[in-house]
Structure 1
């Protein structure tokens, strides 16, 4: 998959590396802004079973 992406990016190696970095940062931004907030209520991290005695 990564080889396919690398071959289809325009430019030389430096331009491809910069575009790859921008794409990776965009993916991380999208995860933190949209996916993780949507999934957070569905995860059981706040369901503790220890009583507060």
Structure 2
């Protein structure tokens, strides 16, 4: 999967690395602010 994403990114290697880091940050932010708050009340942690 990562190889597929890497091949589809445009530009040279440093630019690809920058885009890949931005994509990873966007996914992490979406998980942090959307998925985890929605899931927290449904987890039996207490």
Unaligned stretches of 5+ residues in structure 1: 47-53
Task: Give the root-mean-square deviation of aligned CA atoms.
Answer: 0.4
TM-score w.r.t. the length of structure 2 is: 0.97
Q: How many residues align?
A: 46
Q: Which runs of 4+ in 1 moved over 6 A?
A: none
Q: In 1, Cα distance between the equivalents of 2:32 and 2:2?
A: 22
Unaligned stretches of 5+ residues in structure 2: none
Q: Is the helix fraction higher in 1 or 2?
A: 2
TM-score w.r.t. the length of structure 1 is: 0.85
Structure with bigger gyration radius: 1
> After superposition, where does 1:10-21 map in structure 2 within 5 Å?
10-21=10-21
